[in-house]
């Protein structure tokens, strides 16, 4: 479902975080329902109510409601995403979320309480998580994935329905939870679960934004999170408090050094240290949850409800609160400080609440200072919203003062501070780049140019009197930064028009034959908006271009080889493509870049050198199929 929604919301990584928030909240509602059902009603009533909801969900599946998505715009479309998910899969997913606590209570009447089933449930989740990008996505188009998911849900309906019928024959009343509610462990369970949930999501954000936006990297922290649940509930005592009294300080110190930029550098070191640290933190959180669980089935549903409440609170903090309250990715230092506070209380026996509070404040302040020190105190501006965290900073390079815009570790633009150099094209847009060559070759007449992706507005320097450049930018913070802190747009001779919203959705509103040049510059971030590279997207692009128009696609990427994808889409429409590479020039602040130029007429591509390459052996991407695995470098 998240992948199906990406085209409607600009392919933003924020969509994934919001979907994880939906997962946690629906899990909470499912566990709340399970607790109410098993603690208040007889087995017969439980089975009748649950059976009725199962039948309703099957009717829901047959209806398959169609969602009229609103066009993405604004700082935070999270509420639109959550509402759409609720309409599309709310009831079936809600019933899936009830399965683990409900079945464990039902099955415990004929056997010792099966805590190990919680480990089985998480093992199945981990299997599905790893199978989706590696097996399911490459093999099946989106429509087939959803079709087979509903087939699987039909099997689920049969299995749970059969279990509900069996449970209805049990004459004993449902279990009561008062003893467990009064035990005093509820707040501890919530806190530990919230800490673990927030930490895995915060580490995922940190690795993908502050370390390297490697495709599929978010799978690693989520896998670690699920693995620790498996180990802690599997029943073989993998979690040993005496051991983790020593491991936790090591994890805190190593993570603190990395956040402060004082630890070992390099992608492998960063991923390894944060992955091991996350494993230790989650083993502590989930191990303590398992160690303090109820002794029997009495209160098990309440126990799971508290875990899910904590998980939802952690997801709410990272998914909704942090992007709106914090200007940088401080949720990781906050999560680390919370784990230290919990460990002082649980593992190290510090019971004084005031002393714990003082230590929490000191720990949080230390991590925040470390993060700010790593970013730098002077001449740095931080902005953050649903689409990520931006940093504008001034520095000196090759003897010249420059201003840069970064999103995490990805450079989005460079401008010389000196007025006599402020109009020089920099970064990926130098005169020898593919887009630079196109702009300079079509400078004799007035041009209408569409540009998907604004950055700092560097390409406006190629405009002349009479030209019209229309930029499409989904992130309002980027528009604000380009207009307020950089001067490419304000000093250009070109007429500049900026449209806020997803580029593909905005282009659908334009009339045919509207543009002479179309620039697609949305892929330098390594977080690929796949919906801009499909055959259907290219149909839209060429509907808008004149017959002798040119399209320039920016494919510079550290981890993905996108040239074959562009060539395949072009070939499917009978278009021609040529790749242009330029070398870096540090003196002019020009970066090495790769562009693919596409046109309906091959003669228009000859001035740009080389022969038109044939489409590579890459399966054509469509709105129904895409596969990042096949283009990994």
pLDDT tens readout for residues 424-458:
999 999 999 999 999 988 777 889 999 999 999 99
pLDDT tens readout for residues 292-309:
888 766 677 788 889 999
> What pLDDT does 404 receive?
93
Percent above pLDDT 70 for the chain: 85
Contact (Cβ atoms closer than 8 angstroms) between residue 20 and residue 197:
no
Distance (Å) of CA 390 to CA 60, 378, 385, 396, 484 = 42, 16, 9, 19, 14
The CA distance from 57 to 41, in Å, is 22
> What pLDDT does 580 receive?
92
Backbone angles phi, psi at 109, to 5 degrees: -70, -25
Q: Which residue has the higher pLDDT, 19 or 111?
A: 19
Mean pLDDT, range 105-121, rounded to an integer: 77
Backbone angles phi, psi at 393, to 5 degrees: -145, 150
Contact (Cβ atoms closer than 8 angstroms) between residue 631 and residue 562:
yes
pLDDT tens readout for residues 580-623:
999 999 999 999 999 999 999 888 888 887 545 555 568 898 88
Q: How confident is the model at residue 11 (pLDDT cuts 50, 70, 90)?
A: low
Q: Containing H/E element for 160?
A: helix 142-168
> What pLDDT does 598 receive?
93
178 conformational bin, left if phi > 0, alpha if psi -120 to 50, beta if neither: alpha
Q: Which residue has the higher pLDDT, 390 or 354?
A: 390
Domain 427-631 -> CATH class: alpha beta
The per-residue b/e assignment along 310-334, b for 16 or more CB within 10 angstroms, e otherwise, is: bbbbbbbbbbbebbeeeebbbbbbb
pLDDT tens readout for residues 121-156:
899 999 998 998 888 888 888 888 888 998 999 999
**Of 98-112, 374-388, 482-496, which gets the smallest average pLDDT?**
374-388
148 conformational bin, left if phi > 0, alpha if psi -120 to 50, beta if neither: alpha
Residue of 627, 515, 611, 488 whose CA lies nearest to 565: 627
pLDDT tens readout for residues 511-523:
999 999 999 998 6
Mean pLDDT, range 169-180, rounded to an integer: 55
Length in residues, the chain: 633
Does 53 score more than 80 pLDDT? yes
Backbone angles phi, psi at 396, to 5 degrees: -120, 135
**Residue ranges of the alpha helices (H) in 169-266?**
178-181, 186-205, 219-233, 241-259
Does 330 score more than 90 pLDDT? no
3-class state of residue 632 by DSSP: strand
3-class state of residue 291 by DSSP: helix
The CA distance from 328 to 383, in Å, is 7
**Of 76-85, 129-138, 204-213, which gets the smallest average pLDDT?**
204-213
Does 372 score more than 80 pLDDT? no
Provide the token pair at 194: 């919230």
> What pLDDT does 557 receive?
83
Strands 410-416 and 495-500: unpaired
Distance (Å) of CA 230 to CA 49, 117, 274, 438 = 30, 9, 20, 55
Domain ranges of the chain: 2-375, 427-631
The CA distance from 329 to 206, in Å, is 7
Residue of 332, 550, 532 whose CA lies nearest to 439: 550
SS3 content of the chain, % helix, strand, coil (to 5): 55, 15, 30
Mean pLDDT, range 220-225, rounded to an integer: 93
**Of 128-142, 222-236, 277-291, 536-550, which gets the smallest average pLDDT?**
128-142
Does 172 score more than 60 pLDDT? no
> What pLDDT does 415 receive?
93
- Domain spanning 2-375 has what CATH number? 1.20.1250
Contact (Cβ atoms closer than 8 angstroms) between residue 97 and residue 35:
no
Other CB atoms within 10 A of residue 58 CB: 17
Mean pLDDT, range 186-190, rounded to an integer: 91
Q: Which residue has the higher pLDDT, 9 or 471?
A: 471
> What pLDDT does 73 receive?
46
> What pLDDT does 547 receive?
86
Contact (Cβ atoms closer than 8 angstroms) between residue 573 and residue 542:
yes
> What pLDDT does 111 receive?
60
Does 314 score more than 50 pLDDT? yes
pTM more than 0.85: no
Percent above pLDDT 90 for the chain: 35
> What pLDDT does 368 receive?
60
Does 187 score more than 60 pLDDT? yes
Q: How confident is the model at residue 181 (pLDDT cuts 50, 70, 90)?
A: low
The CA distance from 600 to 616, in Å, is 18
Mean pLDDT, range 466-479, rounded to an integer: 91
3-class state of residue 520 by DSSP: strand
Does 310 score more than 50 pLDDT? yes
Q: How confident is the model at residue 171 (pLDDT cuts 50, 70, 90)?
A: low
């Amino acid at each position: 479902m998240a992948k199906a929604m990406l085209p409607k919301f600009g392919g933003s990584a924020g969509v994934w975080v919001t979907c994880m928030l939906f997962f946690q909240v629906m899990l909470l509602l499912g566990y709340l329902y399970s607790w109410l059902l098993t603690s208040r009603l007889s087995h017969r009533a439980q089975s009748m109510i649950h059976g009725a909801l199962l039948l309703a969900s099957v009717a829901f599946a047959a209806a398959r409601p169609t969602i009229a998505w609103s066009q993405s715009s604004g700082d935070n479309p999270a509420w639109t995403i959550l509402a759409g998910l609720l309409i599309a899969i709310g009831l079936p997913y809600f019933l899936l979320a009830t399965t683990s606590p409900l079945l464990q209570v039902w099955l415990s009447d004929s056997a010792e309480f099966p805590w190990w089933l919680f480990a089985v449930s998480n093992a199945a989740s981990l299997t599905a998580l790893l199978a989706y990008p590696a097996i399911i996505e490459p093999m099946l188009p989106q429509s087939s994935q959803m079709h087979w998911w509903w087939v699987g849900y039909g099997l689920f309906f049969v299995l749970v329905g059969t279990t509900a019928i069996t449970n209805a024959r049990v004459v004993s009343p449902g279990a009561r939870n008062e003893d467990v509610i009064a035990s005093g462990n509820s707040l501890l369970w919530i806190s530990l679960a919230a800490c673990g949930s927030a930490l895995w999501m915060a580490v995922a954000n940190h690795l993908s934004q502050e370390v390297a936006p490697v495709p599929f990297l978010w799978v690693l922290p989520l896998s670690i999170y699920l693995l620790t649940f498996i180990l802690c509930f599997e029943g073989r005592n993998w979690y040993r408090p005496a051991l983790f009294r020593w491991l936790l300080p090591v994890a805190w110190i190593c993570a603190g050094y990395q956040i402060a930029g004082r630890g070992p550098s390099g992608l492998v070191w960063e991923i390894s240290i944060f992955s091991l640290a996350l494993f230790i933190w989650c083993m502590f959180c989930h191990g303590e949850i398992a160690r303090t669980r109820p002794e029997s089935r009495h209160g098990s549903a309440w126990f799971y409800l508290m875990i899910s409440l904590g998980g939802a609170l952690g997801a709410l903090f990272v998914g909704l609160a942090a992007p709106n309250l914090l200007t940088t990715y401080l949720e990781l230092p906050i999560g680390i400080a919370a784990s230290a506070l919990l460990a002082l209380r649980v593992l190290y026996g510090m019971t004084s609440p005031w002393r714990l509070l003082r230590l929490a404040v000191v720990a949080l302040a230390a991590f925040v200072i470390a993060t700010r020190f790593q970013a730098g105190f002077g001449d740095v501006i931080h902005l953050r919203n649903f689409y990520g965290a931006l940093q504008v900073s001034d520095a000196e390079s090759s003897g010249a003062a420059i201003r840069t815009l970064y999103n995490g570790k990805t450079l989005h633009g460079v401008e010389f501070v000196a007025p006599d150099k402020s109009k020089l094209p920099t970064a990926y847009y130098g005169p020898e780049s593919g887009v630079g060559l196109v702009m300079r070759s079509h400078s004799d007449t007035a041009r209408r140019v569409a540009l998907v992706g604004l950055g700092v507005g560097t390409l406006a320097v190629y405009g002349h009197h009479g030209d019209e450049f229309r930029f499409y930018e989904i992130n309002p913070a980027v528009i604000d930064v380009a207009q307020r802190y950089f001067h490419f747009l304000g000093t250009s001779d070109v007429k500049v028009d900026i449209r806020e919203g997803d580029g593909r959705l905005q282009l659908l509103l334009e009339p045919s034959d509207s543009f002479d040049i179309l620039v697609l510059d949305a892929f330098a971030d390594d977080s690929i908006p796949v919906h801009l590279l499909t055959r259907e997207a290219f149909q839209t692009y060429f509907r808008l271009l004149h017959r002798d128009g040119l399209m320039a696609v920016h494919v510079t990427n550290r981890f993905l080889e996108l040239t074959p994808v562009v060539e395949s889409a072009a070939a499917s429409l009978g278009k021609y493509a040529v790749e242009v590479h330029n070398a870096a020039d540090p003196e002019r602040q020009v970066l090495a870049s790769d562009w693919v130029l596409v046109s309906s007429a091959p003669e228009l591509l000859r001035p740009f050198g080389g022969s038109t390459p044939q489409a590579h052996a890459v399966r054509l991407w469509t709105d129904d199929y895409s596969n990042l695995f096949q283009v990994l470098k």
